Amino acid sequence: MSNILKLVRYKNLIAIGVGQWLVYRALILPTLQMFGVNIVLPSWALWTILGATLFIAAGGYVVNDYFDIKIDRINRPDSVIAGDVMEKRTVMRLYQVLTAVGVLAGLAVSVVLKNMTLGFVFVVVPGMLWFCSASYKRQLLIGNLIAAVSYALVPMMPLIAESGLLQDTYGELMQQTPVLASLYAWVCAYALFTLLWAFIAEVVKDLRDEPGDREMECHTLPVVLGEKRARAVVVVLIAVALALTAWCVFGLLRQAVTVRYFLIGILLPAALCIYFLFRNVCTGYRNAAGMVYFIIIAGYAYLVVNYYLMAKACGLTFFGLFNIA
């Protein structure tokens, strides 16, 4: 069981699940309540979407290890599970089961909600993850972008489901209100935040895995451009991500608590990430990747702060956030 948990990256799955839940509970719901909209996604539908997302993500991690066996034996010979601890056939069957359960659950909730867009996402994402691991990962930046887009869709899925219900219930009337525009502005901002930092994380991981990628003739950024230029690209990407986040914090939100949160939770870890990048050792790249993941988690943890601020504005109780229903 411990090997399976490692194979599916259970820590990553926990972060994905909590992040998606927070987007709905701490952002979508209080926004609807501020506008006096009572329609909400049924609890069973939310949990089904969350579960389907986790199963598909787990399958994506498993198939990634399946296709990266030779690379991992070079980069991390002591931690290879697929092909060493577990037979390749067993790993592939695990991928098939996880993905099948995720897709079927996602399609089922999409059919019940009559939401074709949501169903489309649950069909397309597993295909993206398969082709990313099988071939696109070895092409310049394409695999990085596909992986980042897959992560960015996680916060969008509860909104896709909720917006479909809102439009079915209120029809054209909903289009005449700022409800959907407000929801999409917030959630798309989180999707863009996730896209940028997940893309950065993928490139940093390519720096970490450069020896194995070069040996297996993968066309990753460090292999094609060289280590120094690839690090420079990462620094530019971090600067762009920080600039966009700072624009939201200082230009739109302008709240003292949000500014402090940005400085401590986003800017400081980003500076540490750049520092670790230029240590030019394997542990430095691992620490840099860790800082990027910390930034992503900190970004989603801000939703708790945001809920507190919104709760004060619309008379909600803060502890209502932790109602799991």
pLDDT tens for 207-259 read: 888 888 787 777 888 888 888 999 999 999 999 999 999 998 888 777 888 89
**pLDDT tens digit sequence for 8-39:** 899 999 999 999 999 999 999 888 888 888 77
- The DSSP output letter for 250 is I
Torsion angle of alpha carbons 61, 63, 66, 72, nearest 10°?
-30
Q: Which of 3-12, 139-148, 289-298, 306-315 has the highest mean pLDDT?
A: 289-298
Q: Is 246 left (phi over 0), alpha (psi -120 to 50) or beta?
A: alpha
pLDDT of residue 272: 95
The radius of gyration of the chain from alpha carbons, rounded to an integer in Å, stands at 20
DSSP helix/strand/coil, 81: coil
Q: What is the largest CA-CA distance in the chain?
A: 59
**pTM of this prediction?**
0.92
**pLDDT tens digit sequence for 53-76:** 999 999 999 998 888 777 777 877
Per the model's pLDDT, the better-predicted residue between 143 and 46 turns out to be 46
Of 283, 265, 285, nearest in space to 274 by CA? 285
Query: 319: pLDDT confidence band, cut at 50, 70 and 90?
Result: low
Q: Token pair of 155, please?
A: 């916060």
Long-range CB contacts (within 8 A, 24+) of 287-295: 288/204, 288/207, 289/201, 289/204, 289/205, 289/208, 292/197, 292/200, 292/201, 292/204, 293/15, 293/201, 294/269, 295/197, 295/265, 295/266, 295/269, 295/270
